Amino acid sequence: MHTSSLLTALLKIPPTEYYSVLAQWSSGKGLLCVRGGERPHVRFRDATFSLRSADMETKDEDIVVVSEVQLIFTRKEKDIGCVIGDISADNSLAKFASLSLALALPTAEVIPSALEERQSCANTATTRSCWGQYSASTNSYTTVPQTGVTREYWLVVQNTTLSADGVSRPTLNFNGTIPGPQITADWGDDVIVHVTNKLTNNGTSIHWHGIRQLNNAQYDGVPGITQCPIAPGDTLTYKFHADNYGSSWYHSHFILQYGDGLFGPLVINGPATANYDVDLGMLFLNDWNHVPVQSLWDKAKTGAPPTLLTGLMNGTNTYNGAGKKFQTTFTPGLKYRIRVVNTAVDGHFQFSIDGHSFQVIAMDFVPIVPYNATSILVSIAQRYDIIVTANAAVGNYWIRAGWQTTCSGNTNAANITGILRYTGSSSTADPTTISTITASTSCLDEPLTNLVPFVPINPVASSIMKTTLTTAGGQWLFNGSSLLLNWTDPTLLTVLNSGNIWPTDYNVIPVESTTANKGWAVLAISGPTGPNHPIHLHGHDFWTLSQGTGAYTATTALNLVNPPRRDVMTLPSGGHLVIAFQIDNPGSWLMHCHIAWHASEGLALQFVESESKILPTIGTADVSTFQDTCAAWNAWTPTEPFPQDDSGI
């Protein structure tokens, strides 16, 4: 066929979920693919291959023109059409842009092409969206790798005197460090963590924050709901599958233990929505005190929230000239991924690095469309993955965990800092840089318009449950009830005993998938004036349909087009938060405020989801583990020196 004809064949791909089309033509030959809806995802076999793309003139079609590369398409509802054609210099991209699936194609010579299994691609500095046979465009709620790899870890919970900021004090920690050892896995791995409680006088439990725990509620780590506490001297082996990927943390969910140091990093490696050279890992921001948090709780439960003393960055800081600052090093020209997490008891941070802007690529465990920022607002338990380019002048710069003093008090709010040093800087002195960031006073999240999930999913809001948050007598109440759990009688124990009746103050909301709700639970929370509340849901990411001032009403506008989804979002003071989650994970899932004082004061409820389907998800060995943990706890509790004096979480 003459080259001016442009086309030599049309390949219509049948409606199957995944396709790999390999184009290996001679120089100047390529593959044109046109489809409605989202732009096809493209993976390169080699980073040197180039991609040229342009929007179609019509509103509902995209084109991608490639030469000698591999394309992998994730198909949802639209058919994909691929045209093999000559893309030599005299045939401009504009000519291709005029094509559509409706073209009548002449019978012509067909260039051989193969429809084959999806091919793997490497995750490198220039191909971070790749992840083997998967990518950042893969819907991780419906498609999860099964690597067959098991990652195994051992954690010891213990009392140790440490000096995180130069001042020695009793702490609780994992394996003698704050933060604890990093738990690392790849997306699709199985994770086993043996947790031994060597505390002197307390039980414990470990929550794997943000891990979906699909059909695995018994290992979510909440005492009084998914397990009995781990008694001193006992070991509980947690098991879970890495269904989602990104940055998070693990922490005690027993009373206020994480505020005394009982937390650590949890990283599930996977694809990313922007490229970077170096992963610097987790960066912990937390408040800190020189007395145990329990002593502050004794004041908090009878009066106003205590003022915190200082803070740490990755477990270290200075105080009155002692201690040391967290430091990290940049090489000019490289791009660095930093996984920022707020692990405070009661603190809201505005994170920034003097002299630098960055890309934000993920919130909690959800990849997002990258956006640029000079600072980010990080509420308690939230995570943001950022990419910082080392493009400033060689020197030293302050890393700032800006404490938002309008949210809560901190005596040394201005001192929660770290140091960024460039390779080649001749000075080892503290930076002299000055922040140009305008301090926020909102105590809220990043603007919702910035938080666009990379994989778009639209929720359904057929029916809406309503709850009102109030306070009375030093307690927080949902619809008039404050959470109060019994550690010896966890919610799942009732399920194991084939029951479905729980005490009123367990704050149970049953949810079942029905024709009416179309498999979605939607909850509208209206709150009083006072502090904002970072709301965390276990077992699910949730979609934020509305967040704003004033109580929720029937006229409140809801965003049902790819709204932000994550596992922590803020309920504004005197405002409302409307969230939705899919009813697809049988279990009992806690939802609570992550301000530690508020959680201890009962600001929580639990969803018992698909109650009749929970027991079949728990294997015989897991039932035995559950029962053994409760038996050990029940044997120890008669000698417990510190009886329960909070909600239990």
**Each residue's pLDDT tens digit, 330-383:** 999 999 999 999 999 999 999 999 999 999 999 999 999 999 999 999 999 999
Coil, strand or helix at 83 = strand
Please give the Cα distance from 538 to 607 (Å, whole number).
9
In a domain, 24, yes or no: yes
For residues 289 and 164, state if they share a domain.
Answer: yes
Helix (H) or strand (E) holding 253: none
For residues 159 and 84, state if they share a domain.
Answer: no
Angular region, 401: left φ>0, alpha ψ -120 to 50, beta rest: beta
Please give the Cα distance from 213 to 584 (Å, whole number).
11
Is 487 or 91 the better-scoring residue by pLDDT? 487
Mean pLDDT of the chain: 84
Q: Is 80 exceeded by the pLDDT of residue 147?
A: yes
Please give the Cα distance from 577 to 558 (Å, whole number).
10
**pLDDT, tens digit (0-9, with 9 covering 90-100), for 161-220:** 999 999 999 999 999 999 999 999 999 999 999 999 999 899 999 999 999 999 999 999
Angular region, 94: left φ>0, alpha ψ -120 to 50, beta rest: alpha
For residues 567 and 607, state if they share a domain.
Answer: yes
Place of tokens 């194991």: 496
In a domain, 409, yes or no: yes
Angular region, 391: left φ>0, alpha ψ -120 to 50, beta rest: alpha
For residues 469 and 446, state if they share a domain.
Answer: no
The residue from 450, 483, 504 where one domain ends is 450
**pLDDT, tens digit (0-9, with 9 covering 90-100), for 150-167:** 999 999 999 999 999 999
For residues 485 and 437, state if they share a domain.
Answer: no
Residue 323 pLDDT level (bands cut at 50, 70, 90): very high
Is 7 or 597 the better-scoring residue by pLDDT? 597
Please give the Cα distance from 42 to 40 (Å, whole number).
6
Q: What is the DSSP string of 377-440?
A: EE-TT-EEEEEEE--SPSSEEEEEEEE-TTTS-BTTGGG-EEEEEETT----SPP-----PPPP
Is the bond preceding 112 in cis, omega lying within 30 degrees of 0? no
Q: Specify the pLDDT at position 630.
A: 96
Residue 117 pLDDT level (bands cut at 50, 70, 90): very low
Q: Select from 511, 527, 486, 538 the least CA-distant residue to 611.
A: 511
Per the CB < 8 A criterion, the answer to whether 249 and 384 are in contact is: no
How far out from the chain centre does Cα 563 lie? 15
Tokens representing 532? 């904002």
Q: What is the DSSP string of 502-570?
A: --GGG-EEEE---TTTTTEEEEEEE--SSS-EEEEESS--EEEEEEEES---TT-----SS--EESEEE
Please give the Cα distance from 468 to 295 (Å, whole number).
30
For residues 202 and 293, state if they share a domain.
Answer: yes
Q: Are strands 51-55 and 322-323 parallel, antiparallel or unpaired?
A: unpaired
CB contact set of 609 (below 8 Å; sequence gap of 6+) = 510, 511, 512, 521, 539, 583, 585, 586, 587, 588, 589
Residue 340: count of CB within 10 angstroms of its CB: 21
For residues 346 and 474, state if they share a domain.
Answer: no
Q: Select from 145, 239, 261 the least CA-distant residue to 192.
A: 239
Strand partners, 378: 349
**pLDDT, tens digit (0-9, with 9 covering 90-100), for 397-449:** 999 999 999 999 999 999 999 999 999 998 899 999 999 999 999 899 999 99
**pLDDT, tens digit (0-9, with 9 covering 90-100), for 259-309:** 999 999 999 999 999 999 999 999 999 999 999 998 898 888 777 788 999
Please give the Cα distance from 386 to 395 (Å, whole number).
21
For residues 115 and 197, state if they share a domain.
Answer: no
**pLDDT, tens digit (0-9, with 9 covering 90-100), for 570-604:** 999 999 999 999 999 999 999 999 999 999 999 99
Count the helix, strand and coil residues of the chain and give each as a percent rounded to the nearest 5: 10, 40, 50
For residues 507 and 569, state if they share a domain.
Answer: yes
Place of tokens 């803020």: 570
Q: Select from 428, 433, 431, 340 the least CA-distant residue to 388.
A: 340
Please give the Cα distance from 217 to 615 (Å, whole number).
10
Q: Select from 348, 363, 272 the least CA-distant residue to 564.
A: 363
- How many folded domains does the chain comprise? 3
The residue from 79, 98, 119 where one domain ends is 119
In a domain, 292, yes or no: yes
Tokens representing 193? 């963590």
CA dihedral 165, 169, 173, 176 (to 10 degrees): 80
Please give the Cα distance from 533 to 527 (Å, whole number).
9
In a domain, 128, yes or no: no
CATH number of the domain encompassing residue 570: 2.60.40.420
In a domain, 456, yes or no: no
Q: Specify the pLDDT at position 68.
A: 32
Coil, strand or helix at 260 = helix
For residues 169 and 102, state if they share a domain.
Answer: no
Q: Specify the pLDDT at position 300.
A: 80
Structural domain boundaries enclosing 65: 3-119
Q: Is 323 exposed, middle or buried (0-12, 13-18, 19+ CB in 10 A)?
A: middle
Q: How far apart are the first and last CA of the chain?
A: 73
Please give the Cα distance from 183 to 250 (Å, whole number).
9
Please give the Cα distance from 362 to 535 (Å, whole number).
18
**pLDDT, tens digit (0-9, with 9 covering 90-100), for 502-561:** 999 999 999 999 999 999 999 999 999 889 999 999 999 999 999 999 999 999 999 999
- Per-residue pLDDT averaged across 98-106, rounded? 30
In a domain, 177, yes or no: yes
Residue 106: count of CB within 10 angstroms of its CB: 9
Residue 67 pLDDT level (bands cut at 50, 70, 90): very low
Please name the residue ranges forming H helices in 46-112: 93-97
In a domain, 457, yes or no: no
For residues 337 and 439, state if they share a domain.
Answer: yes
For residues 157 and 79, state if they share a domain.
Answer: no
In a domain, 634, yes or no: no
How far out from the chain centre does Cα 191 lie? 17
Is 48 or 638 the better-scoring residue by pLDDT? 638
Residue 202: φ, ψ to 5°: -145, 150
